Amino acid sequence: MKYNKFINEKIAEIAKEKTVLDIGGGERFGKWLSTYKHLFKDCEYKTFDYDESTGADIVGDILSIPLGEESVDAVICNCVLEHVENPSVAIKELYRILRVGGKIFVHIPSIYPYHARAGHYLDYWRFFGDAVKLLFKDFSRVEVQKRGGYFKALSFFIPFQHKLRFLIDPTANFLDTLFKTENRTTTSGYYIYAIK
């Protein structure tokens, strides 16, 4: 799928930077980023999380990041903004800490199930193309890639889908390609790569 190629290319670009901050990363190379760990061997990679029990290198609030202006070269923010009370303030903070020419890679949900984690974080937002444009308007360059189309989005609402991904993903991807649904507005989420 197009979005896998986009992720691979943009994470490789991020990993070339001198300092990389993984927002909401918790443990180092947690979530999906472990696949790319080998790319980060020559950079200073740090994690940032609001929950110190995650073992994050830096603990704080994304709405008021305890770093100076233009202090990092790149930021990764995967599946975080939907859990933040004010995502526009969060993006302004990420912009503030990025050096001029700095890069950011963000993944946000669109048509996607509610996924708060009791006692840890809530789930406030879903985003569409118009919101992406608004949130990233201050960046000099913005590239956006949808995470599939209608069928990929629908697939996340199938009962027990997490246990059946090996069957569901190829089917959803095939149907999205067959019916060209990625050309429409419905998607499960967006991957954004932007430069300050």
Per-residue model confidence as pLDDT tens digits over 95-107:
999 999 999 999 9
Query: Cβ-count burial of 102 within 10 angstroms (0-12 exposed, 13-18 middle, 19+ buried)?
Result: buried
Asked if the model's pLDDT at residue 20 lies above 90, the reply is yes
Mean pLDDT, the chain, integer: 96
Structural domain includes residue 15: yes
Cβ–Cβ under 8 Å, residues 14 and 103:
yes
Most confident of 20-34, 51-65, 97-111: 97-111
The domain in which residue 104 lies consists of 2-150+187-195
The domain tally of the chain equals: 1
In this prediction the pTM is 0.96
Asked if the model's pLDDT at residue 26 lies above 90, the reply is no
Query: Residue 9: which CATH number?
Result: 3.40.50.150
Paired strand residues for 107: 78, 191
* Tokens coding 47: 């994690």
pLDDT for 120 equals 86
Structural domain includes residue 97: yes
Structural domain includes residue 49: yes
Structural domain includes residue 101: yes
DSSP single-letter state for residue 38: G
Give residue-wise pLDDT tens across range 124-164. Answer: 999 999 999 999 999 999 999 999 999 999 999 999 999 99
